[in-house]
Amino acid sequence: MKQNNFRGIAVAVVVFALGIIAVGFTGCDFLEDFVKMQVAEEPVQPDPQPDPLTLEAFMTLYIKSDGNDDTNTGETSDAPLATVAKALEKVRERYDNGGEWGVTVTEKAKTRYPLPAEIVVLDTILPSVTGTIDGAEGGGPPIILRYLSKAEQDVMDGAGTPITKTYPLVTMKTTDVELTLKNIIFKGVSNNIAPLIKVESGGELIMGNGACLTGNYNRAYGGGVLVKGGGTFIMNDGIISDNESFQGNGGGGGVYVDRDVDNDPINGTFTMNGGTISGNIATDRGGGVYVLDEYSKFTKTGSPTGGTIFGATKEGDGGNEGDSDKNTAEAFFYPGHAVNAADTDGERNTTAGPTVELHWPLLKDSTDDNWEE
């Protein structure tokens, strides 16, 4: 009898306790919720967004300087559009109307990401008015601006010989014209005699967030950007990576800062306020940035807003050999300079990482007014 009473008291205490707990939650739903909590699966984490360059484009459009935005579709190389703006308009129109837009990354996560759209440049783009190319404006998929590939060229003309490009994707040469790039990928080719972008006298190029210049093999100066005398390149954000320059006695795998050969006092100017320059290669010097001489100017603003030029590994110094982020120069005379200029022996610790050989002018009085920290 005493044993039964004890059991009754114990049950009453448990029921009372559960009742108190339940009041603090959702009444009678508490026990059901508790069971669900016990058996719930761990939340599925979506995979990181894939690199658009690894995905097959859902749409390809062609543009050419003598194309037509009014009468041509841009869907074949024989009917190219004239402007990037029109191509972006057509991409968004198809995207908004339910075009093939997604890719399932994994069966587990069921995560879908937009497939990229490609805009193929059949000759160089010549901006004539100040403006912005923003691949994300208005929404839609990632945008890749690229050259015509060898395979595509062979289909067009039946040629079996290697195709060599001789034009940049963009050429800035109109006086007082400014072009800003945002949220767009410039993709180069493996057989080229041109940088991805050439900035000549009077032109001004500005790189902003989401802009990427990559994958260009240039058998001349400047894999990513070539800044000529009188031209201005301002890098506020973005990435210049995995480009190569294979011109003897030159360099600038990422950026080459030149001058006006016929009129020495006219500078080419590169100002780096942000962004990243990494993984670029030059056969001689300046894997990241090469500055020709005292008539070429490179200004890098201070950390942390000044961006990063990854340091390079010099021959015999140990360090980070094999690091894919490093800008390198392969010739035995000037191995591994992230930043370099002809006839400059000065070294200085910078946000580039380890000590790197610097640019002109490192003046004879030891001042260096083009490098701001």
pLDDT tens per residue across span 68-114: 999 999 999 999 999 999 999 999 998 887 777 778 777 777 778 88
CA distances in angstroms from 248 to 167, 218, 333, listed in the order given:
20, 12, 12
Secondary structure (3-state) at 133: strand
Q: What is the pLDDT of residues 273-304, one digit of tens each?
A: 888 888 888 876 777 888 877 778 877 776 55
CB contact at 8 A, 170 and 179: yes
Rg (CA), the chain: 28
**Are residue 178 and residue 34 in the same domain, yes or no?**
no
pLDDT at position 332 is: 34
Please check whether residue 147 lies inside any domain of the structure. no
Q: Give this prediction's pTM.
A: 0.77
Q: Does residue 306 form part of some domain?
A: yes
| Contacts with 253 (C-beta within 8 Å, 6 or more apart), sequence order | 223, 224, 243, 244, 245, 280, 281, 282, 286, 287, 288, 327, 328, 329
Sheet holding 289-291, edge to edge: 170-172, 197-199, 225-227, 255-257, 289-291, 339-341
CA 235 – CA 232 distance, rounded (Å)? 10
CA gap 41, 105 in Å, rounded? 20
Domain that holds residue 260: 164-357
For the ranges 217-226, 321-330, 344-353, the lowest mean pLDDT is seen at 344-353
Q: What is the pLDDT of residue 44?
A: 67
- Do 199 and 345 fall within a single domain? yes
Sign of CA dihedral 300, 306, 307, 308: positive
The Cα–Cα gap between 124 and 143 comes to 17
Per-residue pLDDT, 215: 94
Average pLDDT over residues 314-322: 32
Query: According to the model, what pLDDT value does residue 174 have?
Result: 85
Give the H/E segment covering residue 92.
helix 84-96
| Degrees to nearest 5, angle at CA 290 with 229 and 216 | 95
258 pLDDT tier (thresholds 50, 70, 90): confident
Q: Binning pLDDT at 50, 70 and 90, where does residue 178 land?
A: very high
User: Where is average pLDDT lowest: 65-74, 193-202, 256-265?
Assistant: 256-265
353 and 208 share one domain: yes
pLDDT of 340: 66
Number of domains in the chain: 2
- Closest among 368, 326, 342 to 285, alpha carbons compared: 342
Domain membership of residue 254 (yes or no) is yes
Confidence of residue 363 (pLDDT cuts 50, 70, 90): very low
Residue 144 lies in a domain: no
What's the pLDDT at 235? 94
Better-scored residue on pLDDT, 81 or 310: 81
Asked if residue 202 is part of any domain, the answer here is yes
Please report the pLDDT score of residue 73 as a whole number: 96
